[in-house]
């Protein structure tokens, strides 16, 4: 039954030529998903999957005894022990691949990294301010060194720029 479900996606996004004699109803082989056990055709995969789980199909394939089996205490204990061993095995595999690291050491290392990043950003901000200040001072020096016309000196300003510096 699972192999049938796996084959559902085989024909996805594929074009198939269908003869004109294809049966239009559900009975017989036609266009869509065909169940050989029941001789039925379904137009989409959802209907087909519902059919695969239906009583009609299960009876036709001989899986009519589909009821749940009551587990005994021994079955439950065996399953419990299996899962317990599986978890232990995964823990052993995980611990072999990775060395144990002290949590405090990891926290301290992370704090150092964050502190270094913070100091780096602070240095960058200071350097940016210094460059900006030097650029403004250079611009002021250039403006003061330029020849002032008599009119601008008489009016009391040196340029038509902003008063912000």
Local mean pLDDT, 10-residue blocks, the chain (165 residues): 64 62 60 85 87 87 72 94 92 70 83 96 97 91 64 66 65
Contacts of 157 (CB under 8 A, 6+ apart): none
Residue 56 placed within a domain: yes
- Report the predicted TM-score, pTM, of the whole model to 2 decimal places: 0.29
For residue 104, what pLDDT is reported?
83
Burial class (CB in 10 A: 0-12, 13-18, 19+), 44: exposed
- Report how far residue 141's alpha carbon sits from residue 25's, in angstroms, rounded to the nearest whole number: 94
- Do residues 110 and 133 share a domain? yes
Beta strands in 11-149 (DSSP E): 33-35, 40-42
Q: How many domains does the chain have?
A: 3
For residue 4, what pLDDT is reported?
60
Are 151 and 126 in contact by the 8 Å Cβ rule? The answer is no
Residue 125 placed within a domain: yes
Domain region containing 55: 21-68
Residue 38 placed within a domain: yes
* 79: its two tokens: 């399953």
Beta strands in 8-149 (DSSP E): 33-35, 40-42
Are 1 and 51 in contact by the 8 Å Cβ rule? The answer is no
């Amino acid at each position: 039954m699972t192999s049938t479900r796996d084959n559902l996606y085989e024909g996805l996004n594929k074009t198939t030529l269908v003869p004109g004699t294809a049966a239009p109803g559900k009975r017989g082989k036609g266009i869509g998903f065909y169940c050989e056990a029941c001789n039925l055709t379904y137009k989409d995969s959802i209907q087909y999957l519902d059919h695969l789980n239906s009583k009609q199909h299960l009876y036709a394939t001989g899986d009519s005894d589909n009821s749940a089996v009551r587990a005994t205490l021994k079955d439950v204990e065996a399953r419990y022990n299996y899962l317990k061993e599986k978890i232990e095995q995964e823990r052993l595999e995980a611990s072999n691949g990775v060395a144990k690291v002290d949590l405090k050491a990891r926290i301290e290392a992370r704090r150092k990294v964050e502190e270094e990043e913070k100091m780096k950003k602070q240095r960058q901000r200071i350097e940016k301010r210094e460059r900006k200040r030097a650029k403004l001072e250079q611009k002021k020096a250039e403006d003061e060194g330029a020849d002032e016309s008599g009119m601008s000196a008489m009016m009391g300003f040196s340029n038509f720029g902003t008063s912000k510096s």
